[in-house]
Amino acid sequence: MRWTNAMNNAPTLKPPSAPMVDVMLVDDHAIWRGGVRSMLEGSEFRVVSEAASGREALEAACRTRPRLILLDIRMAGGDGLDALQSLKRDLPSAAVIMLTTYDNPTYMARAVAGGAAGYLLKGVDLADLLCALRAVTKGEMLLLPEDLTRALRDLRPDSAGAEDLIEPLTKREEEVLRLVATGLPNRQIGTILFIAESTVKSHVEHIIGKLGVSDRVQAAVWAARHGVMETP
């Protein structure tokens, strides 16, 4: 996995002027949570809550208001990607990093489309983990654009499916869908396309209806699977 900035020689202890940052750990393995908590000791990242499922995570997040959330994908108590949507809805100010064993392009695409700030594998070492957390705290994304493009293209089958839609997408809707699939919020999509945020919202609603999916995350995965990410 590559990063937006170099992580060589990243300090593992709290920089003198760095404020403390509250973190929540979400994983159904208590041993893993304990290991990460121990790794973060001595740094500026303070674990304020833990959860073993998406439901527990939502309750704990609303109670402790963490700034960063490390969230597993496959948990006995439910899908972490579904939990991501709930967390971003109820606590939009929190940055969520998916920390998983799965180097899976489908998961990566859904995570970024759902608002995750990054996607890390559990084999990450302490220096890289701390540098990643510091980058996200500054508002950076951990995935480079080409990493996301690779993930999305890996999802695309040989046969296209856009022709099978009962009501085809308009050219503008395809433009909006491409940007939705990269994880951009409506406001930023509107800025890029020079249209109002409310207009983007309307386009997204029409896209979801035409594709027969339930939300923008599923629309993003549909876009990746059917080649919509490729600019004509």
Q: What is the pLDDT of residues 31-54, one digit of tens each?
A: 999 999 999 998 999 999 999 999
Position with higher pLDDT, 138 vs 143: 138
Write the DSSP symbol of residue 100. Answer: E
Residue 128 has pLDDT above 60, yes or no: yes
SS3 category, 140 = coil
**Each residue of 154-179: pLDDT tens digit?**
554 543 356 667 788 999 999 999 88
**CA-to-CA dists, residue 228 to 160, 174, 203, angstroms:** 9, 7, 15
Q: Are 40 and 20 in contact (CB under 8 A)?
A: no
Q: Which CATH architecture has domain 157-225?
A: Orthogonal Bundle (1.10)
b/e burial code for range 24-54 (CB count within 10 A of at least 16 → b):
bbbbbeeebbeebeebbeebbbebbbbbbbb
Where in the chain are all domains bearing CATH 1.10.10.10?
157-225
Where in the chain are all domains bearing CATH 3.40.50.2300?
21-151
Instruction: Check residue 221 and give its pLDDT.
Output: 76
**Average model confidence (pLDDT) for the chain?**
82
Q: What is the mean pLDDT of residues 135-151?
A: 69
Q: Which two tokens stand for residue 145?
A: 């654009």
Q: What is the mean pLDDT of residues 210-232?
A: 74
Kindly report the pTM of this predicted structure. 0.63
Instruction: Check residue 3 and give its pLDDT.
Output: 36
Q: Are 169 and 177 in contact (CB under 8 A)?
A: yes
Fold classification of 21-151 is Rossmann fold (3.40.50)
Of the candidates 149, 227, 142, the one whose C-alpha atom is nearest the C-alpha of residue 182 is 149
Confidence bin at 150 (pLDDT 50/70/90): low
Residue type, 198: S
Instruction: Check residue 35 and give its pLDDT.
Output: 92
Euclidean distance between CA atoms 159 and 152, whole angstroms? 15
